[in-house]
Structure 1
Amino acid sequence: MAEKCPQVEPEERFVAVSFPEYVREYLENESEETGLTVSAIVSKIVTDHVREEKKSRCG
């Protein structure tokens, strides 16, 4: 039986990241098409990834 992950209160933290040119161009294009900021798009991608990882590890 998989061990349950502890519940943690979300914290807001700011980080700086560097992307390869092709990723930066992709994010900027997505930003123009969706009207979302690049930061919001990256945040969504990371949040979705973390949720999926948590599901796979903690059930």
Structure 2
Amino acid sequence: MKVERLHGQRFVSQRQAKDETIAWLLWYNKARLHSTLAYVSPMQFESEWLARQANS
């Protein structure tokens, strides 16, 4: 996280730092492509998994 989003960044307030951190965490956990999920986002992986379960 430090290298990808916050390294060298100066924040004008703690609130801005917190908001940036939360935005990064949401992106990382929902949209970022994960190698362990065959390079799809967690949201896409979950959607595909649910579709497979419905078709089973």
What interval of TM-score do these two structures reach, taking the shorter chain for normalisation? 0.3 to 0.5
Between structures 1 and 2, the one with greater helix share: 2
Task: Mark the structure with the bigger radius of gyration.
Answer: 2
Higher relative contact order (CA 8 A, sep 6+): 1
